[in-house]
Amino acid sequence: MTLEQIQRRRMHGLYLSRGCDDIVTLSRELMGMHCWFHRNVVFSAIIRGADITGWKDALTKTWLYRGTLHGVAFDDLPTLLALHSDNSYLAEYMGEDTLSAIADDVIALMEDGVFSRIEMRRIFADRYDQKIIDIALSPWGGIFVQLARQGRVAFRDMTSRDFDLIAAEPVHTQEDVLPELLRRYFKAYGPATIADAAYFLGLVWKFDKKRFADINLDDLARFEIGKDTYYYYDDKAEMADIPEITLLSGFDPLIVSYVERSAVLPAEYKKAVILSSGICLPTIAVNGRVAGLWNIKKDEPVVTFFEQPEKRLEDAAYDMVCKIIRQTVSIIKAK
């Protein structure tokens, strides 16, 4: 399979050369939609043809793979969370007993209607050391990351910074759900390698080829390039050609879901697209390869190509961004 054929299949699987009408279905197919910035979920959905009506409550915002925020179909949470429900970076800072006590206290306060971190800080001042409080109630998540991974809390909606109690606790182990999630990954993101899947699922530090080799993937099609085996789901679907021009959202799955990105992101543009902070900017792809950036600033389209394109491509990208603005006038301003 050529690189062009690989890209064609990936763009088909990721709904970049076809449409997906429903944002919940889209999120389920993509195994969550990256939302470090919530407007990227809206951009990604519109680019893929999904209706964004009621999107703030249609998906659940929580932490998933690689410790990043995603918008997820609620009924998918128990399965997706099972991969990392037992992980917590906080244990090394405060010990298991203190961590468990704070978690119980937070849940109890939320059950009593206290959702403000400021109020929790005031209440905890008489119970815990200030350093422990700063870690547990960190603006980056703190204890709420652990509780979210356990399926006990999630953000109130896609734009909120407050949390609500939920009941989405994983009922299976990581080993139980991994075979299913591998197949789902290869169906949407394939052709891809086991290393790609391990990276996407946040298992890169636990990557053990033998462990993955024990999972039966005989129902998937495969081919080899060098020493790498690529897997994909061959449903014989008719696939469209790679679009001549495509807008990609910030943290678009076509860019951030693979170990090797050069097929879509040329090395010379990587630093312009993925900042030192880890932020991945919205991009413009020409024939499936990143060729520029786009954005919306003060309700105005911003289109920048790395090299001067044909005017018709520049005009097409500009028109696409204008269309997104018309569909998201109020949403991109949401706090």
What is the average per-residue pLDDT within 195-209? Answer: 81
Amino acid at 321: V
Say whether pLDDT at 203 is over 90: no
Q: How many domains does the chain have?
A: 2
Q: Establish if 208 belongs to a structural domain.
A: no
pLDDT in tens, 6-49: 999 999 999 999 999 999 999 999 999 999 999 999 999 999 99
pLDDT in tens, 250-299: 999 999 999 999 999 999 999 999 999 999 999 999 999 999 999 999 88
Looking at residue 208, its pLDDT comes to 66
Q: Establish if 130 belongs to a structural domain.
A: yes
Q: Which of 108, 134, 149 is the last residue of a domain?
A: 149
> 136: which residues sit within 8 A by CB, 6+ positions away?
90, 94, 102, 106, 124, 128, 142, 143
Q: Which of 130, 149, 168 is the last residue of a domain?
A: 149
Say whether pLDDT at 214 is over 90: no
Q: Which of 149, 184, 217 is the last residue of a domain?
A: 149
What is the average per-residue pLDDT within 136-147? Answer: 92
Could you give the CA distance from residue 307 to residue 284 in angstroms, rounded to a whole number? Answer: 12
Q: Considering the chain, what percentage of its residues have pLDDT values greater than 70?
A: 96
| 0.85 surpassed by pTM | yes
Q: Establish if 136 belongs to a structural domain.
A: yes
Confidence of residue 131 (pLDDT cuts 50, 70, 90): very high
Of 152, 210, 166, 212, give the one whose Cα is nearest residue 185. 212
What is the average per-residue pLDDT within 66-82? Answer: 94
Say whether pLDDT at 332 is over 60: no
Looking at residue 95, its pLDDT comes to 83
Q: Which domain holds residue 285?
A: 245-333
Could you give the CA distance from residue 266 to residue 317 in angstroms, rounded to a whole number? Answer: 19
Q: Establish if 122 belongs to a structural domain.
A: yes
Q: Establish if 228 belongs to a structural domain.
A: no
Looking at residue 77, its pLDDT comes to 97
Looking at residue 47, its pLDDT comes to 97
Burial status of residue 112 (CB atoms within 10 A of its CB: 0-12, 13-18, 19 or more): exposed
Q: Establish if 174 belongs to a structural domain.
A: no
Looking at residue 90, its pLDDT comes to 84
What is the average per-residue pLDDT within 130-143? Answer: 92
Confidence of residue 237 (pLDDT cuts 50, 70, 90): confident
Looking at residue 204, its pLDDT comes to 75
Q: Establish if 142 belongs to a structural domain.
A: yes
Of 151, 185, 163, 173, give the one whose Cα is nearest residue 75. 151
Backbone φ and ψ of 163, nearest 5° = -115, 160
What is the average per-residue pLDDT within 189-199? Answer: 95
Q: Establish if 313 belongs to a structural domain.
A: yes
